[in-house]
Amino acid sequence: MFKPYLLLLISLIYCFSAQAQKPKKPTSSEIYQSIEKLNFLGSVLYVAAHPDDENTKLISHMANAVKARTAYLSLTRGDGGQNLIGTELGDLLGVIRTQELLAARKIDGGEQLFTRANDFGYSKHPDETLAIWNEDEVLSDVVWAIRKFQPDIIINRFDHRSAGSTHGHHTSSALLSMEAFDLASDKSKFPNQLKSVDVWQAKREFFNTSWWFYGSQEKFEAADKTGQFAVEVGDFYPALGLSNPEIAALSRSAHKSQGFGNTGTRGSETEYLELVKGDMPKDKNNIFDDIDTSWNRVKGGKPIGILLKEVQDNYDFKNPSASLPKLIEAYKLIQKIDNSHWKTIKSEDLKNVIAACMGLYLEVAANSNTATPNGKVDLNLEAINRSAQDIKLISIVLSDGTNLKKNTDLKFNQSQRFKSQINIAASASYSTPYWLNNKGTLGMYNVDQQNLIGLPETPRNITATFNISMHGEILSYTRPVIYKTNDPVKGEVYKPFEIVPEVSAYISEPVIIFADDQQKDIQVIVKANRENLEGFVQLAHPKGWNVYPEKQNVAILHKGQEQTLVFTVIPPKNQSEGLLSPMVHIGKEIYTKKIVEINYDHIPFQTVLLPNESKIVRLDIKKRGENIGYIEGAGDLVPESLRQIGYNVVIIKPENITAETLNRFDAIVVGIRAYNTVDALKFKQKQLFDFVEQGGNLVVQYNTNAGIIVDQLAPYPLQLSRDRVTNENAEVKFLNPNSELLNYPNKITQKDFEGWVQERGLYFPNKWSKEFTPVLSMHDEGESPQEGSLLIAKYGKGHYIYTGLSFFREFPEGVAGAFRLFANMLSVGKESIKTDQQLKN
Ligand SMILES: [Zn+2]
């Protein structure tokens, strides 16, 4: 069946997968490896849930030793993780981890695919995961990936029978993969996809088991493995000078935001695969047993296989270009085969091999890294052939339709350089991750074009196509426009060429808290992305709030320049929250996006367009005490948040914890995981407990139960557990409605537990001595009530409070109830201080 979209779709995937990174300049040995790969027609799809779940040893082995097309389907982009290298979280972390996966695949030779599922945070059970994801949509995307990639073999990282014993996303990835294995071949399932892909039946499916599914290395070694397929992954590749585990470690080390730097090993190593669908390979050494992975697989493929085998056997490492005539012959034959899947893939791979054999270098660089729709950009083009082969540059066709006719011989090592200009269409779409274009849900990205689903990145369609005649055939090479510059320290630096809006604006603070009715001045920074920008700016705001002036003019002369405007925002009398969004009017257009740039050395420069809005919160909050000492732990934004509501917060270094320092404060707050990460706190508990005894408040936020550096966390016995409540909307019961924490100075109600994000809390204590009073009870579905989220004990004249509630997550999101409850924790026992009202009277 002829699929008009298929070719376009597949060519998009292959042309742009390595976009805007430094161009690959393969060595003679690497070219040889690619030629070997041209002769293998088999595919493996590895399936798991997150960036970093994938087994890079197995992926690298399949791609480099077996020579199979190998892809990793990560259901999510890892938005919910932690970031060890910067401040990006959520959507922006997902962008970084997407690029880290691409960097990893560039090293291990795999390809990368995704679904629309969003990594919304931890879930305990696949039922919970699949209720938050749109199960049908994610299943549809896994089926789509299978139909598009056409794997012979599917390997799941996780066990579909592991519900409840690992992250719900993990088990879900295996469950959906098992289901999709069967559905992908069923014409009646997701029939809309069949406009651009065919049905597909994979041959067999495995679960990539490992010792950790058995509890320990010893148990795994002792286990009966007769039903498992063993794969030796300790290969050594002389052409690359690396062992397979060394490549796998380099690949794994690309996950820098996760801190997954990894050291490679050498020597024999085995991976075990448990068959979960299809039949076991009879040949113990061939996972593709009973699958034809030669060119005979394709009708008309036999002579191609013979030709390419000859190329492989006669490959001249000193002069790869000697293979050109045979490679072109093979290329011509491939154009005649019917199988559009293999035709597209192998044509593209072969074209790349041909270019590499000749040292053919083609580049199109813009003189700026950005342009706006309707704009014009100057281009520098370069074409050079570094072989003795006679080839001719026929023409260069730009994506705006400009046809630069050349008919120039590309003579040995003679660089051809041209200048041109490209027009950016008025309708050109902005360069931004496609999955963030529309507002999604907690569990799903919202992608409206089927053909974008699954792609790792937004295709870049500002390009130049070089048409080159060689041995009677014209081969077309399409290159995305890039930008490159010289950095005095780093040398040559490549950046993607981006289409951006004419103007972008932002407010520095994502959340602005108004703890009383005082007005605040808010800075709006407007950046011109073209010359001579003129217009005006208004601040959209919620009802009941006032902003002055109503509008301000903006006039910026040069591209890249910024102008700062100050607006006064007046909050309402009562508690209220909403969004503050700068709207920049230029002519008839209104611009409402901000540009976020992500710049790290290990991934390509990223430009992300996000809604330009800040949350504003008018809190109805009372507080007692003013001076807070903060002892930092693993890092959180709690001190800044407390400052926003008017506390005077001082960071106390562990070495400065003395009775004298502490006594200046009304309360001391200990940052998250401080007793896991700050060794110096080992010897400071006595001073902290003394501070409480003499009337101070000590608030300790969550620590994990493993690796606590002190013997005694609290003045009374207290034991941490792994209990957590991951549902941020879980019902909260007041165990002790009269507790001061729920009444003073703020009356806490159910409303204060609305609008929480990601989770309620984690690592709650599960045992405590009678001196502690538990205040709240909550639990995830199907679990017993947990009462350790907030505990208070009187000690001497003061109070010790331990809380696993996730204030560190709620504060940066401006969750009002979290602020009110925390203010009560800091105010306990401070009745003697006069109330605001009394002071005013
Ligand atoms: Zn994971």
CA pair distance 410, 396, nearest whole angstrom: 13
Cα 141 to middle of ligand 1, angstroms: 19
Q: Residues near 500 by Cβ (< 8 Å), separated by ≥ 6? A: 370, 371, 372, 430, 431, 529, 595, 607, 609
Residue 659's closest CA among 639, 680, 629?
Answer: 629
CA pair distance 528, 232, nearest whole angstrom: 56
Cα 171 to middle of ligand 1, angstroms: 10
Cα 265 to middle of ligand 1, angstroms: 23
SS3 427: coil
Cα 253 to middle of ligand 1, angstroms: 16
pLDDT tens track for 311-334: 999 999 999 999 999 999 999 999
Cα 51 to middle of ligand 1, angstroms: 7
Cα 293 to middle of ligand 1, angstroms: 32
Are the beta carbons of 230 and 206 closer than 8 angstroms?
A: no
Cα 83 to middle of ligand 1, angstroms: 15
Cα 126 to middle of ligand 1, angstroms: 13
CA pair distance 608, 599, nearest whole angstrom: 11
Per-residue confidence at 163, pLDDT binned at 50, 70, 90? confident
pLDDT at 833: 47
The predicted model gives 801-809 an average pLDDT of 96
Cα 275 to middle of ligand 1, angstroms: 22
DSSP 100-136: HHHHHHHHHT-EEEE-SB---S--SSHHHHHHHTTHH
Cα 609 to middle of ligand 1, angstroms: 27
The predicted model gives 163-185 an average pLDDT of 96
Cα 731 to middle of ligand 1, angstroms: 27
93: its two tokens: 């972390």
Which residue's structure tokens are 């970031």? 83
Cα 661 to middle of ligand 1, angstroms: 43
CA pair distance 534, 556, nearest whole angstrom: 6
Cα 252 to middle of ligand 1, angstroms: 14
Cα 236 to middle of ligand 1, angstroms: 29
Burial, 179: exposed, middle or buried (Cβ in 10 Å; 0-12, 13-18, 19+)? middle
Paired residues of 803 in beta bridges: 790
Burial, 767: exposed, middle or buried (Cβ in 10 Å; 0-12, 13-18, 19+)? exposed
Cα 174 to middle of ligand 1, angstroms: 12
pLDDT tens track for 425-445: 999 999 999 999 999 999 999
Cα 429 to middle of ligand 1, angstroms: 33
Cα 216 to middle of ligand 1, angstroms: 19
The predicted model gives 563-568 an average pLDDT of 97
Cα 764 to middle of ligand 1, angstroms: 23
Are the beta carbons of 113 and 101 closer than 8 angstroms?
A: no
Q: SS3 sequence, 769-803?
A: CCCEEECEEECCCCCCCECCCEEEEEECCEEEEEE
DSSP 734-750: ES-TT-HHHHSSS---G
Are the beta carbons of 614 and 507 closer than 8 angstroms?
A: yes
Cα 158 to middle of ligand 1, angstroms: 9
Cα 75 to middle of ligand 1, angstroms: 10
Percent of the chain, pLDDT > 70? 96
More confident residue, 442 or 22: 442
Cα 169 to middle of ligand 1, angstroms: 7
Which residue's structure tokens are 């426009």? 481
CA pair distance 47, 491, nearest whole angstrom: 38
pLDDT value at 14 more than 70: no
pLDDT at 10: 38
- Angle in degrees, CA 146, 41, 460, rounded to 5: 60
The predicted model gives 687-715 an average pLDDT of 95
Per-residue confidence at 215, pLDDT binned at 50, 70, 90? confident
Cα 73 to middle of ligand 1, angstroms: 13
Q: Are strands 376-384 and 416-423 parallel, antiparallel or unpaired?
A: antiparallel
Residue 794's closest CA among 763, 757, 828, 820?
Answer: 828
pLDDT value at 3 more than 60: no
Percent of the chain, pLDDT > 90? 89
Cα 168 to middle of ligand 1, angstroms: 9
pLDDT at 803: 98
Cα 459 to middle of ligand 1, angstroms: 27
pLDDT tens track for 119-132: 998 888 999 999 99
Residue 39's closest CA among 277, 384, 334?
Answer: 334
Which of 216-225, 241-250, 759-768 has the lowest average pLDDT? Answer: 216-225
Cα 148 to middle of ligand 1, angstroms: 24
Give the H or E element holding residue 420: strand 416-423
DSSP 166-207: S-HHHHHHHHHHHHHHHHTT-TTSSGGGGGT------SEEEE
Which residue's structure tokens are 């296989």? 305
Cα 246 to middle of ligand 1, angstroms: 22
CA pair distance 19, 479, nearest whole angstrom: 8
Cα 74 to middle of ligand 1, angstroms: 9
- What's this model's pTM, rounded to 2 decimal places? 0.88
What's the chain's average pLDDT?
93
Cα 531 to middle of ligand 1, angstroms: 46
pLDDT value at 583 more than 90: yes
Q: Residues near 837 by Cβ (< 8 Å), separated by ≥ 6? A: none
Per-residue confidence at 21, pLDDT binned at 50, 70, 90? low
For residue 729, the tally of other CB atoms under 10 A from its CB is 11
Buried b or exposed e, range 2-26, using 16+ CB within 10 angstroms = ebeebbebbbbbbbbbbbbbeeeeb
Cα 53 to middle of ligand 1, angstroms: 5
More confident residue, 83 or 355: 355
Cα 363 to middle of ligand 1, angstroms: 38
Cα 635 to middle of ligand 1, angstroms: 23
Cα 92 to middle of ligand 1, angstroms: 18
CA pair distance 826, 823, nearest whole angstrom: 5
> CB-side exposure of 422: number of CA atoms within 13 Å?
33
SS3 305: helix
Q: How far is CA 79 from the centre of its chain?
A: 5
- CA–CA distances in Å: residue 376 to residues 250, 379, 496, 527: 41, 10, 17, 19
Cα 78 to middle of ligand 1, angstroms: 8
pLDDT value at 258 more than 80: yes
- Angle in degrees, CA 96, 500, 560, rounded to 5: 100
Cα 138 to middle of ligand 1, angstroms: 16
Paired residues of 781 in beta bridges: none
Which of 8-12, 269-273, 289-293, 342-346 has the lowest average pLDDT? Answer: 8-12
Tell me the residue type at 796: G
pLDDT tens track for 592-635: 999 999 999 999 999 999 999 999 999 999 999 999 999 999 88
Q: What DSSP designation does 438 have?
A: B
Cα 786 to middle of ligand 1, angstroms: 26
Cα 91 to middle of ligand 1, angstroms: 17
Are the beta carbons of 297 and 121 closer than 8 angstroms?
A: no
pLDDT value at 2 more than 90: no
Cα 154 to middle of ligand 1, angstroms: 18
Burial, 700: exposed, middle or buried (Cβ in 10 Å; 0-12, 13-18, 19+)? buried
